[in-house]
Amino acid sequence: MIYLLQGNLSVSDSGSYLPVAIQVLFVVGLIALLIFLTHILGPKRKTADKLQSFASGIESHGDARQPMAIKYFLTAILFVLFDVEVIFFYPYAVIFKELGWNGFLAVLMFVGFFLCGFIYILKKGALKWED
Amino acid sequence: MNALILSAVLGVIMMFSGVMLKQKSAVRNIAITGLFLLLVVNILEMSGMSFFRINTAGMMHFDRFSLLFNCIVFFSTFVYLLLSARDIEKTGNYYAEYFTLIFFILCGVILVSSFQSLLILFLGIEIISIPLYILTGSDKKNLKSNEASLKYFLLGAFSTGLMLMGIALIYGSVGSFSTAQINMTEKPGALMIAGMILLLFSMSFKVSAAPFHFWTPDVYDGAPTVFTSFMATIVKVAAFIAFIRLFGEAFGNLQPQWQIWIALITAATLFIGNITAVFQQSVKRMLAYSSIAQAGFMLLSLYAMNADAKEGLLLYSAAYSLATIGIFAVLIKMNDYTFDGFNGLAKYQPLLAATTTIFLLSLAGIPLTAGFISKFYMLKAAVATGRHLWLVIFAVLMAAVSVYYYFRVIQAMYFKEGQPGIITTSPVFKYTLVVLAALIIILGIFPNLLLNWYYF
């Protein structure tokens, strides 16, 4: 860790990151200030209703650790998976022309692998809702 | 490149074979044949027959070192499947998926052995880690396996975060991911040094070097034994190749700065691994600590970073992987994983006991075995640096300590009375064990059989 201190702070190195450092300081300072201010200035009214825990504006009921059918989870996670994969098409759409046929083939390969995964999921019955 | 593409495709094939084929043996045979193909294709690339010409934009480079290392990895995995493929199937319901994940891990191993860019290093490490989290937790009904998987995932994700932060800092100071560019930096700034230290920490975590080793015993103990075997051998040596490539190629010029840190980590790893292994009651847990201790020896190559070190690491990865795979393959067949479980094995299963003895002797570094000659190369490389001779002496002392816990198993097998509960073994299993033991002795006498491949 000594080398951290011995490191040579050249101009291009530290100078170009000065704005980042200022921003970090600003963020930390602002958060600390806000927490401090709300604590000092805000009124404190502790009633029984206010201290109760609630979810989405209504009173909570039941146990949060209730077992739930795995298919909800599976469908949700598969949706997220495919949703994230689609994001990869956006950068391709932007540089579609520059990449030419090579880029097209690469994306075709990507879709091919993607399709393999989809067929696998269907075959495994991950999206079968009725048992 | 051949092997990289083939292993990805084989992974997909294995995935579908689980859906299409109903017979377990068919899936297993496809996996073993696929691995053999992988080995053949890789050897073809070594002799100049590359099937694909893909422009990697300088992000990957398949040189002699990485290709030979891949050969060792594929051969070890091939042997591993021959010995333990049946046991992989018994772990859970998704037998084809386990083989799939193993092929994907091999994909990651190829990436980390031939990266020229920190991006590929990161990708490779992740492709290795994520399937491993799943394999660790593949014994779903077992609470210990679940715990191990969760622990491994949380700690692994944390160390990957450290690695990303390190890569980001280095990119910030150099402006490039390329290892050659990073090495050309004239005056490393504070950012670069901080990035290097973060990379050092995260890679030490991946190879389970002390003081980043705390996950290893629990994860190795909790995971199904077949997958512990895979994790402790093939994945661990792959992480070492990544480590030595990273510090040789990206930070080679900074060696005077990091060398003392590596020396301290090496000493700590050797000490903690060997001393803690002495106190273990379970052979599986002892092997987990022994893998930490062996990692300490492999770290010597990183410390030395010269021609001897690279040769030594190749030899060490072959010797260590083959011997440990052999021991684990026998351990899986036992009913009782404690030292007492091995009592009297020599009487009932003389062949298993004899081969296990050879594997243990190799791990302890007794002459005429591959373990001895690889330890010798490591020490030779460390002496050649001409500095920190205390480290070499300490390593030899620790190797002497390791003899104690390896020989406890031999003592239990040959000199104690007992009736070991053992599951019956097939003839293929026995033949493979004998071939493996013979290979270890041959490598111990003629290490150049392997090392010549590095040059010709």
Please judge whether B190 and A14 are an interchain contact, meaning their C-beta atoms are less than 8 angstroms apart.
yes
Mutation pick from B14, B19, B101, B255 vs chain A, by most beta carbons of A within 10 Å, is B19
Length of chain B: 456
DSSP run (H or E) holding A60: none
Residue B454: pLDDT band by 50, 70, 90 thresholds? confident
Please judge whether B187 and A10 are an interchain contact, meaning their C-beta atoms are less than 8 angstroms apart.
yes
pLDDT for A9: 46
CB atoms within 10 A of CB B21: 14
pLDDT for A113: 87
State yes or no: pLDDT of A10 exceeds 70. no
Report, as an integer, the average pLDDT of B28-54: 91
CA angle B317, B321, B326 (to 5 degrees): 155
DSSP run (H or E) holding A31: helix A18-41
pTM to 2 decimals? 0.89
Any idea what DSSP says for residue A88?
Answer: T
Please judge whether A8 and B197 are an interchain contact, meaning their C-beta atoms are less than 8 angstroms apart.
no
Place of tokens 């696998």: A120
pLDDT for A86: 85
Span B299-323, pLDDT tens digits: 999 999 988 899 999 999 999 999 9
Closest C-alpha among B213, B184, B438, B190 to residue B326: B438
Closest C-alpha among B235, B5, B8, B213 to residue B100: B8
Distance from CA of B187 to the nearest CA of A (A): 7
Please judge whether A7 and B19 are an interchain contact, meaning their C-beta atoms are less than 8 angstroms apart.
no
State yes or no: pLDDT of B444 exceeds 50. yes
Lowest mean pLDDT among B286-290, B345-349, B409-413: B345-349
Closest C-alpha among A78, A100, A10, A125 to residue B186: A10
Strands (E), chain A: 54-55, 58-59
Please judge whether A10 and B192 are an interchain contact, meaning their C-beta atoms are less than 8 angstroms apart.
no
Question: Which chain A residues are closer than 8 Å to B194 by Cβ?
Answer: 4, 7
Closest C-alpha among B238, B216, B207, B102 to residue B151: B216
Are B114 and B238 within 8 A, CB to CB?
no
The domain spans of chain B are 251-456
State yes or no: pLDDT of A8 exceeds 60. no
Domains of chain A: 2-124 (1.20.58)
Query: What contacts 24+ positions apart, CB below 8 Å, involve B386-394?
Result: B387/B259, B388/B259, B388/B260, B388/B263, B388/B303, B391/B263, B391/B266, B391/B267, B391/B300, B391/B303, B394/B267, B394/B270, B394/B271
pLDDT for A81: 87
State yes or no: pLDDT of B91 exceeds 80. yes
Size of interface A-B (CB pairs under 8 A): 42
Q: At what angle do helices B118-136 and B236-245 cross, to 10 degrees?
A: 170
Cross-strand partners of B60: B115
More confident residue, B7 or A58: B7
Over chain B, what is the mean pLDDT?
92
Please judge whether B172 and A3 are an interchain contact, meaning their C-beta atoms are less than 8 angstroms apart.
no
pLDDT for A1: 43
pLDDT for A19: 86
Lowest mean pLDDT among A25-39, A113-127, B92-106, B137-151: A113-127
More confident residue, B123 or A44: B123
Please judge whether A7 and B189 are an interchain contact, meaning their C-beta atoms are less than 8 angstroms apart.
yes
User: Residues 6 or more apart from B342 whose CB is under 8 A from it?
Assistant: B283, B334, B409, B412, B413, B420
Are B138 and B91 within 8 A, CB to CB?
yes
pLDDT for A106: 87
Report, as an integer, the average pLDDT of A60-65: 77
The whole-angstrom distance between residue A97's C-alpha and the CA centroid of its chain comes to 30
pLDDT for A2: 45
Report, as an integer, the average pLDDT of B193-207: 94
Please judge whether A13 and B197 are an interchain contact, meaning their C-beta atoms are less than 8 angstroms apart.
no
Residue A98's alpha-carbon distances to A85, A89, A109, A112, in angstroms, are: 22, 15, 18, 22
A123 in reach of chain B (CB within 8 A): yes
Report, as an integer, the average pLDDT of B209-231: 93
Question: Which chain A residues are closer than 8 Å to B189 by Cβ?
Answer: 7-10, 13-14
Are B187 and A8 within 8 A, CB to CB?
yes
Closest CB to A3 among B172, B173, B257: B257
Residue A13: pLDDT band by 50, 70, 90 thresholds? low
Give residues 1 to 40 of A whose Cβ lies within 8 Å of B: 1, 3-4, 7-10, 13-14, 17
Q: Pick left, alpha or beta for residue B336 (phi over 0 → left; psi -120 to 50 → alpha; otherwise beta).
A: beta
State yes or no: pLDDT of A55 exceeds 80. no
User: Residues 6 or more apart from B134 whose CB is under 8 A from it?
Assistant: B101, B149
Report the share of chain B in percent with pLDDT over 90.
Answer: 76
State yes or no: pLDDT of A44 exceeds 70. yes
Report, as an integer, the average pLDDT of B217-227: 94
Length of chain A: 131
A97 in reach of chain B (CB within 8 A): no
Closest CB to A8 among B15, B16, B188: B188
Report the share of chain A in percent with pLDDT over 70.
Answer: 89
User: Residues 6 or more apart from B283 whose CB is under 8 A from it?
Assistant: B331, B337, B338, B339, B341, B342, B409
